[in-house]
Structure 1
Amino acid sequence: MSKKIIRRAQVSTSYLPDSLPEIIKQIYASRGMQSADELELNVAHLQGMVAETALMGMDNACQLLHQALLNKTRIIIVGDFDADGATSTALMITALNLFGSNNHDFIVPNRFEYGYGLTPEIVDIAAEQKAEMLITVDNGISCIAGVKRAKDLNMQVIVTDHHLPGHVLPIADAIVNPNQHGCNFPSKSLAGVGVAFYLMLALRKYCREQNYFAEQGVAEPNIAQLLDLVALGTVADVVSLDANNRILVEQGLKRIRAGKTRPGIQALIEIANKNQQRLVASDFGFALGPRINAAGRLDDMAYGINCLLAPDLSSARVMAAELDDLNKTRREIEQGMQQEAERVLTSLNFDEENLPNAISLFQADWHQGVIGIVAGRLKEKFHRPCIVFAKSKEDDTDFNTAEIKGSARSIPGLHIRDLLEHIDSQNPGLISKFGGHAMAAGLTIKQQDFEKFQQEFDRLAGKWLKPEDLDSIILSDGELSVNLLTLEFAEKIRDSGPWGQNFPEPLFDDTFSLVQQRIVGEKHLKLVVEKNGKVFDGIAFNVDVKAWPNTQAKQVHLAYRIDVNEFRGKRTVQLMIEDLRTA
């Protein structure tokens, strides 16, 4: 749908150092940076700003883990089937190795057989593997039945999670989650991998105080070597890049750029054709993360975890190639589903000017592993909260009992998990289970209840959303002088990051003369534009090929990011076009 371009208001930058260019200070201040301290993106500053022991439940978790290490307890890590879950699992497995454990392993649920989290069925599998302690990563806070099953089997359970808790908490031996009630940890936006990282920091401190390393003959681990995993999982999970997360991501990026990363991440960088020395945060979200996620979406996330745990580069490259193939297949499935979804909307007489308050779609042959991506694509295109459903089990053909799983994506102004909780409270039994965040959630309902849910979702979204929430807006940092459209300034922007969720990369808008235009790769538009006698290359992805190329257009208004294009050793400025319209 057409978007409004709104330029950010100018704000005070007096508290930021004069050594920064004014435009960079304005960019920082407009994104909510509150002090010059937030410019310090080093680990020492992180430890001074937010202590790991500030996380509620950390003392209990460290005591339990310390005793488990002494007793050589059989520990099973229970992960999740997305990139955050994969990096969290790999981090815990690697860290326990560093602490001297040799009696631990992981289980990651197959989304098609067991669904999300620590279910009773997963606990039974862990029991078969002689588990004495379970540690959940990126899940567990809503796994009431699974934790109870584990306790019934006399297992100890440590829950590490970052998802929002419900009214009832699991009866775990320890819960570490910045979003649990009563936790005063200031960074509520930690990803699951961030929570796992903090637990390992706290465990090292606790073990040092207990003289564990000296008594056990174990070298005290350098926990910073796990930051490459933390950075990857944090960005891939699209959590808010608050000051704390920006430090974690920047430190992980620095290690990777310096060559201090594990073979699995290096292999993923290679297969994605990225420059390791110039890697940026968005590469985690658009290049590495999707390849790891493809394993959980189409097959088994163990592939992704094992790639991250690969002992050497040659084996990592083999696994990265398999993940790349899965990601290509995922793209094909996703594109087909998105086209079908848009056809369904057209058949309902919905278009960009006539849309419901919220979109929910179900088709029996859609792929369960890709519904979240399709929901996100539809949300971006139509600027509506969107839930896409697929059958929970392909072979379940009984309409009266069959369940369908939905993946939800929301827009600013609508907390999707709160809305699902409200629907659940007002319609007991309509939703079998749900969980998630403000902007993304998952749920299960009966297939026969889809239409009822669809109507309730649209009705309630209409009540909760304000009319202005339904306007699709592009926030621009304004016009950029053509004198700043240089490699030097593009590098300055890159080095001023990391950029990401709620700390977006600078975006500018301006009118240019159109010099050249051509379609590449079926639906991408390559442009050459000119202003004040200077010529620039640009690219717009996934354009409407019915509208572009436009031979009548002489001038175009672009909303764009400034980037560096590297081709055959030559580096040039390139405009990454977010919005394109005739002027």
Structure 2
Amino acid sequence: MPHKIIRRPQVDDSHLPASMPALLKQLYARRGVNQDDCELVLAKLLRPQTMKGLDIAGEIVADAIQANKRILIVGDFDADGATSTSVCMLALKMMGASNIDYLIPNRFDFGYGLSPEIVAVAHAKGVQLLITVDNGISSIDGVSAAKACGMQVVVTDHHLPGQVLPEADAIVNPNQHDCQFASKSIAGVGVAFYLMTAIRAELRSRNWYQIQSIAEPNLGVLLDIVALGTVADVVSLDANNRILVQAGLQRVRSGRCRPGITALLEVAKRDPSKIVAADFGFAVGPRLNAAGRLDEMALGVETLLCDDIMRARRMAAELDGLNQDRRDIEAGMQQEALKTLQAITLDEATLPWGLALFQPDWHQGVIGILASRIKDRYHRPVIAFADAGNGEIKGSARSIKGLHMRDLLERINSQYPGIIIKFGGHAMAAGLSIKANALDTFKQAYDDTVKSILDYEQLTGEILSDGELSADLMNLDTAFMLRNAGPWGQSFEEPLFDGFFKVVQQRIVGEKHLKLLLETECGKLMLDGIAFNVDLQIWPDATINHARVVYKLDVNEFRGNQTVQLMVDYIEPM
């Protein structure tokens, strides 16, 4: 679908250092950066004391460590859950805990979160303290079951809570009511990291390290894992999250990261010394996620916990294979979904505002990615459903700007009681389960509710551009400056520029990527460009000689040579 290109307005940037390059000052000011945010150092992290429940949770876990209680970490089956679990396992062991284990529920057997069935597994293991990471805030029944079995429960999560909270011994979630912690967009792994710092401080106050003759751990060694989980979970990169991500990237670039992350970067053909946040999001994260989507996330956790590089490489290769399988499955599902849509897109007016799609043979593990792809193509909120057995179907939802997906599901749940069995999530992504025989009713309710919230104009994709980049700035110095000015990511978007170019050459590489040679309008400069996953019904086309291009300025490295390259996000023939 065609997109509307909107250039960000010029804003006042006088509050930023005068020594900063003019282009960077403007880019930062447009993204709300103040002078304090320019220096991404750990000393500027938000203080743990402002996170509600953290002190109580720290005391409970410290008590359990001192008493050698059996502790179980219950994680989620995505990259955030795997990194959260790994951070807790490594940190607690460094603090002297020896009676600990973890469990990632198999999504196909147990579903999401701390369910009563998972509690039964934990009880059979003799667990005395359950710690949830990246889940638990909606596990009302699971926490009740754990308490009935005599277990203590500490919930750490970042998902939006419902009206009723679980009756845990402690809840650590910045999004719970009355929590003063300023970063509401922190990932589950960030919450877990903050809990580990609170436990470390509590044990320090008890002279635990001296009594046990162990060194007080430097939890900074875990920041590469924290950075990976933060980027992979696509949370907003506010100032606090950018500090965490920057610290993790610095560890990786300096060769001080976990063997598992090194191995995952290797199979993804990324140079650790030149890694940027996007590499975590598009290269490492998907390979880690593949385990939870198609198999069991324990493989991902074990890769992160591994201390031996050779073993880590073997596990990373297995994850790489799973990721390729995931991509193949997703490609087939996407074709099925597009065929379904083509039948109703013959008349644009009949295309639902909210797309709800279901095929009986779709795989639960990749419906989230499928929903995201369809959303990007049609710029409508999408829910993709897969068969969950027992007469239920499970959906993964992706939203667009202006529509809070979890709030939308809550509205449907209140206005059409009984359709939705359970739901949860964020503004841009959510999950739900419904009865299979209620799908048609849900589709209508979903479409009607989307129409009641959005205006039609919001269904047109918008691209925010930082404007035209002058030819004298299209050089390596600018490209490196932009690369080093990150980390860029969700809600702190990497700079996009747009301009009109003459298309000198065009050809397809790698089956569906468009390799371009572009000339600036003024004729001063010739630049290479690459556009990934183009529409092969449009490109290549020798009759297209001019185009408007939206791009990122990047550095292409080939056989030791570095050149400027335009990473094309959107190209519109003129």
TM-score range, shorter chain: over 0.9
C-alpha separation in 2, matches of 1:295 and 1:569: 35
**Correspondent of 2:264 among 246, 254, 268:** 268
- Listed one character per residue, the Cα deviations across residues 166-185 of structure 1 (whole Å, up to 9, x for unaligned) are 00000100000000011010
Instruction: State yes or no: 1:44 paired with 2:43.
Output: yes
| TM-score w.r.t. length of structure 2 | 0.98
8 A Cα contact 1:164 1:179, kept in partner: yes
User: Which residue identity lines up with residue 274 of structure 1 in the other structure?
Assistant: R
Q: Return the offset for 1:32.
A: 1.7
8 A Cα contact 2:344 2:351, kept in partner: no
The answer for the alignment partner of 1:422 in structure 2 is 411
* Mean Cα deviation higher: 125-134 or 343-352: 343-352
User: What secondary structure sits across from 2:224 in the alignment?
Assistant: helix
User: Which residue identity lines up with residue 31 of structure 2 in the other structure?
Assistant: R
The answer for the alignment partner of 1:287 in structure 2 is 283
Instruction: State yes or no: 1:327 paired with 2:330.
Output: no
The answer for the alignment partner of 1:371 in structure 2 is 367
User: What secondary structure sits across from 1:130 in the alignment?
Assistant: coil
The answer for the alignment partner of 2:536 in structure 1 is 545
User: What secondary structure sits across from 1:564 in the alignment?
Assistant: strand
The answer for the alignment partner of 1:399 in structure 2 is none
Cα 1:291–1:513, aligned 2, differ >3 Å: closer, same or farther? same
**Correspondent of 2:308 among 312, 315, 331:** 312
The answer for the alignment partner of 1:14 in structure 2 is 14
Q: Return the offset for 1:557.
A: 1.1
C-alpha separation in 2, matches of 1:452 and 1:125: 36
C-alpha separation in 1, matches of 2:94 and 2:479: 40
Spell out the pairing of 1:87-102 with structure 2 (5 A cutoff): 87-102=83-98
C-alpha separation in 1, matches of 2:198 and 2:150: 26
- Listed one character per residue, the Cα deviations across residues 543-579 of structure 1 (whole Å, up to 9, x for unaligned) are 1111111111221110000111122222211100011
What 5-or-longer segments of structure 2 have no aligned partner?
A: none
C-alpha separation in 2, matches of 1:428 and 1:473: 34
Spell out the pairing of 1:225-244 with structure 2 (5 A cutoff): 225-244=221-240
Instruction: State yes or no: 1:155 paired with 2:151.
Output: yes
Q: How many residues align?
A: 572
- Listed one character per residue, the Cα deviations across residues 237-256 of structure 1 (whole Å, up to 9, x for unaligned) are 00000010000000000011
User: Which residue identity lines up with residue 21 of structure 1 in the other structure?
Assistant: P
Instruction: State yes or no: 1:567 paired with 2:558.
Output: yes
Instruction: State yes or no: 1:64 paired with 2:60.
Output: yes
8 A Cα contact 2:497 2:551, kept in partner: yes
Instruction: State yes or no: 1:133 paired with 2:151.
Output: no
8 A Cα contact 1:410 1:440, kept in partner: yes
The answer for the alignment partner of 1:407 in structure 2 is 396
Q: C-alpha root-mean-square deviation of aligned residues, in Å?
A: 1.0
The answer for the alignment partner of 1:177 in structure 2 is 173
Q: Return the offset for 1:372.
A: 0.2
User: Which residue identity lines up with residue 494 of structure 2 in the other structure?
Assistant: E
The answer for the alignment partner of 2:435 in structure 1 is 446
The answer for the alignment partner of 2:100 in structure 1 is 104
C-alpha separation in 1, matches of 2:348 and 2:63: 59
8 A Cα contact 1:417 1:437, kept in partner: yes
C-alpha separation in 2, matches of 1:456 and 1:267: 46
Identical residues among aligned pairs (%): 58
The answer for the alignment partner of 2:205 in structure 1 is 209
- Listed one character per residue, the Cα deviations across residues 420-451 of structure 1 (whole Å, up to 9, x for unaligned) are 01111112211100000011000000000000
C-alpha separation in 1, matches of 2:265 and 2:354: 37
User: Which residue identity lines up with residue 553 of structure 1 in the other structure?
Assistant: I
**Correspondent of 2:474 among 477, 485, 500:** 485
**Correspondent of 1:555 among 546, 554, 561:** 546
Q: Return the offset for 1:353.
A: 6.9
- Listed one character per residue, the Cα deviations across residues 320-345 of structure 1 (whole Å, up to 9, x for unaligned) are 00000000010011011011101101
User: Which residue identity lines up with residue 458 of structure 2 in the other structure?
Assistant: D
Q: Return the offset for 1:521.
A: 1.2
- Listed one character per residue, the Cα deviations across residues 397-427 of structure 1 (whole Å, up to 9, x for unaligned) are xxxxx00000000011110001101111112
- Listed one character per residue, the Cα deviations across residues 287-343 of structure 1 (whole Å, up to 9, x for unaligned) are 000000000000100011110111210000000000000000100110110111011
Spell out the pairing of 1:393-542 with structure 2 (5 A cutoff): 393=389, 396=390, 402-531=391-520, 532-542=523-533
The answer for the alignment partner of 1:223 in structure 2 is 219
User: Which residue identity lines up with residue 361 of structure 2 in the other structure?
Assistant: D
C-alpha separation in 2, matches of 1:493 and 1:262: 27
* Mean Cα deviation higher: 133-142 or 566-575: 566-575
- Listed one character per residue, the Cα deviations across residues 237-295 of structure 1 (whole Å, up to 9, x for unaligned) are 00000010000000000011011111000000111000100100000110000000000
C-alpha separation in 2, matches of 1:435 and 1:171: 18
C-alpha separation in 1, matches of 2:455 and 2:197: 43
